[in-house]
A and B are shown apart, each in its own frame.
Chain A
Amino acid sequence: MSMLSTSTPSFAFLRSRWLGCPLALMLTSTWALAQDKRWGPGEPASDYGYRFGELFWLITTLVSVAFALVVVLLIVPMLRDRARPGHRASFDHGKSLHDKRLTAVISIITFIVLDAWVLVIAMKDLREAYWAIPAAKDPQTYKVEVLAQQWAWSFRAAGVDGEFGTPDDILTTNELVVPKDRPVSFNLTSKDVIHSLFLPEMRMKKDLNPGAINLAWFKPVVEGEFSILCAELCGFAHYQMFGKLRVLEQGQFNEWEAEASQLASTAFDADDTEGHWAWDWQE
């Protein structure tokens, strides 16, 4: 466990069981409070991210109202209907036709307001965005094959020629470079165990299953550097399986792509069978 030594503070006094540990909690708390704090996922950087945000806050509003209602209905009897001498509960089995109708009406209303409303919007989002995977033929679509393994991400882009499995394929590890404002389409699979590609700023997540290819896509709308995390437990270094996502303007991106493709072709080694893991693009 070599990574231990890196995360263990070297202050020897911290190892004293009685004194050190409460002290450590205080120190980390103070440190954590002194850090830049974040209370949400940050600004979305993909077009889907905005849909997520709207849906999330819609649900939050609905849920808050519903929960407030529950709490009120819980607290009022607690304050008003306490047992006391001379007080008797009202006798009601709630089995009259009126009660049954009331139950039905209230559950239907709750279902429509809480569930059906959300469902309709979610379906619209899914059809318009999440499942509308861009066509591979479309030259706008930037295609990336992702092969995960314990504990690294390998990305393969087709390079300038647009064909996978050719010497100019751009292979990167733990770093993905994509153009802004163009749909990025993924083919995802894994070498060993299940991983999950999590792009928090893009609000995107998809599992990488060994033995099968999963599809996913997103459209970055903001330039910059973003995170890649693994969201499916994949062994003891799961928490360190992260990478970097760089979104570049189209012009900059073209420069980068040309250079990377050029480098890849120069360094291409025909005997390195391990390195040739590209597959036929799946749609």
Chain B
Amino acid sequence: MSSDHIHPEPTTFLRKHVFSIDHKVIAKQFLWFGLIWLGIGGIMAMMLRWQLANPGVPVPLIGGLLFPRTGGVIDPATYNTLFTMHGTIMIFLGLTPAMIGALGNWCIPLMIGARDMIFPTLNMLSFWAMFLGGAVGFYSLFVPLGATEVGWTGYPTLSTTVGAVGQGETLWAIAVFLIGASSIMGGINYITTVIRLRCPGMTWMRMPLTVWGLFLTSILNVLFIPVIGSAMIILVLDRVFGTSFYVPASIMSGGTGGDPILYQHLFWIFGHPEVYILILPAWGVVCDLLSFFARKPAFGYRTSVGAMVVVTVLSALVYGHHMFTTGLSAMLGESFMLLTMIISVPAEILFFNWLHTLWKGSLRLTTPMLFAMGVIFVFGLGGLTGIYCATIGTDIFLHDTYFIVGHFHLTMAASALFGTFGAIYFWFPKMFGRMMSERLGKLHFWLSFFPLVLVFCIMFISGYAGMPRRYYDHTSAEYLRPLQHLNVATTVSAFLLGVAQFIFVFNFIKSRWWGKTAPQNPWDVGTVDWTIATPVPHYNFKTIPVVRCGPHEFSNPVLGPDTDWIYQTEELPG
């Protein structure tokens, strides 16, 4: 797989833009792919919110087109499909490619001074496996008995033939498997690249924290995606070949049966690391961006790295907190509660370092900076509300209510999304050679930030008031009817959030083709990727750079009064 020779620059369209093995092109492919799916998942979220605020009222504008059979109304089965696919799409087809695929492919080789990923062909396969997974997932929306309706967690026995007939769920499992395969390929590539292709002088402790985040994410990808892969294989065996891994004897027509709880363990052994898979790159980006735009070294670089490593190690040991109501034994339950509380310590250290980086800085409130600070706010809210969910005493009531929905959206969805936005605004000039509009960027931030916080904070109230999630219509139960005003408020905020994203779409497309030409280093940042020309030449570095200082030497007094930054390839004076 390792291609150890220099290819000439491809000339045909197919080799240049479609089946390219150039990490920069693959990064852009992942970015476009991820953004399109984020859009689709976002529209699904809007439809879900519409249904919750207006149960049984036709969806405006697109309803008649999408659901002609019901005259534009979302029926309960479709509603279940929508939230299942919303979750699956956002996690596997939206954030994973946009965050890990695009950012990883773009940043890792450029920031460590490499000419490409170490296995370029594997890199290309990684994108096309993901593409195939997306295609299978998309196709599953149109099979005769409908797409999967069992939630993105796919718990058996609802996800076996006991509760889900037709091909939808099988195709979903296959799609998840393919996307997982893509992530593993990417992960192997990233890890090997970081270990083997760091340029001379780029020691582990001189790597930008973005690369650290992506590196640790890749380790989690390589270790834990296979777990869901196997769980999906077993699910497909049960569904298609009639085995009984997940189907208990009481449901089998005879003989011995399996255990549906086994799946929950397997799923969350993967599922909890997956949360960190999505958030670690965002943490890395935030660490870097705060330092870049506060013009101050990242406070406690080593402790930040250590904290992220500890999170990586602990991530698989806390998964049981997703299963407090499943019927864990007292001993297991209390152990998972304790471990979950312990994993908050490294997160606290990161917060401490972030806030300390800002303190007494010289803040340039550019769009990437705003988004990085937004991550602190949003992740702070999400992380702190995690205490309710980690404590069994409160979780038994809050489990599977909107409180949980609010919590995990703030931690893994909104934070990862804000991190992604920050990264896109930041690397866009290097990626496409043009500047994004700062004015529109800031507008996008503020118009996203307030509705986003509102959406999920109202969900905390709804959840505390006992509103279960995955309900088609909360007005049908007497107990939930007085909570409808919260649903309406959430929906209005969600629509505002949705509308604000059009600013981004407009800004992205306009800047991509008609933006101002970007200078080589618009942000005055010293990492290796900004030392090369824009657009980045074929194979990035004509001569492999030699790194002589860390990535965050901002405002170092030895630089003299005229400048407050230095390239990593330059020697610190004195």
Question: Which residue on A lies nearest to B84, using beta carbons?
Answer: A233
Contact: B391 with A122, CB < 8 Å? yes
B495-518 CB contacts (< 8 Å) to partner A: none
Report how far A89 CA is from B315 CA in the complex, Å.
35
Contact: A15 with B71, CB < 8 Å? yes
Contact: A231 with B557, CB < 8 Å? no
A113-136 CB contacts (< 8 Å) to partner B: 114-116, 118-119, 121-123, 125-126, 130-131
Report how far A29 CA is from B488 CA in the complex, Å.
6
Residues of B within 8 A of A94 (CB): 297, 299-301, 303, 353, 356-357
Q: Is B157 an interface position by the 8 A CB rule?
A: yes
Report how far A277 CA is from B72 CA in the complex, Å.
43
Residues of A within 8 A of B9 (CB): none
Contact: B299 with A229, CB < 8 Å? no
Report how far A66 CA is from B388 CA in the complex, Å.
14
Contact: A227 with B58, CB < 8 Å? no
Q: Is A211 an interface position by the 8 A CB rule?
A: yes
A35 and B54 in contact, given A115-B344, A203-B397 (Cβ under 8 angstroms): no
Of the stretches B92-100, B105-113, B467-475, the one at the interface is B467-475
Contact: B248 with A83, CB < 8 Å? no
B538-569 Cβ-contact flags toward A at 8 Å (1 or 0) = 00000000000000101111000000100000
Q: Is A137 an interface position by the 8 A CB rule?
A: no
Question: Which size bracket describes the interface of A in this complex?
Answer: 35 or more
B154-205 CB contacts (< 8 Å) to partner A: 155-158, 162-163
Query: Which of A63, A130, A203, A236 is the one whose CB lies under 8 Å from B472?
Result: A236
A85-121 Cβ-contact flags toward B at 8 Å (1 or 0) = 0011111111100011001001100110011101101
A1-44 Cβ-contact flags toward B at 8 Å (1 or 0) = 10110011100001101101110110011011101111111100
B476-492 CB contacts (< 8 Å) to partner A: 476-485, 487-488, 491-492
Contact: A39 with B468, CB < 8 Å? no
Query: Which of B156, B465, B468 is the one whose CB lies under 8 Å from A198?
Result: B468
Q: Is B396 an interface position by the 8 A CB rule?
A: yes
Interface size of B by Cβ–Cβ distance < 8 Å?
123
The 7 closest A-B pairs by CB, nearest first: A211-B248, A21-B60, A7-B56, A94-B299, A227-B479, A200-B466, A38-B482
18 A-B pairs with C-beta separation under 8 A: A8-B56, A25-B54, A28-B57, A33-B488, A70-B376, A70-B380, A73-B359, A83-B363, A88-B295, A90-B296, A93-B299, A94-B357, A95-B301, A95-B302, A107-B348, A200-B397, A212-B259, A234-B163
- Which A residues lie at the B interface, using CB under 8 A? 1, 3-4, 7-9, 14-15, 17-18, 20-22, 24-25, 28-29, 31-33, 35-42, 51-52, 55-56, 59, 62-63, 66-67, 70-71, 73-74, 76-78, 81-84, 87-95, 99-100, 103, 106-107, 110-111, 114-116, 118-119, 121-123, 125-126, 130-131, 150, 189, 191-194, 196, 198, 200-201, 203-207, 209-212, 214-215, 227, 229-240, 242
Known: A70-B376, A93-B297. 14 other contacts (CB 8 A): A14-B57, A29-B492, A63-B384, A81-B362, A88-B295, A92-B360, A94-B297, A95-B302, A110-B345, A194-B155, A194-B260, A198-B400, A211-B249, A235-B158
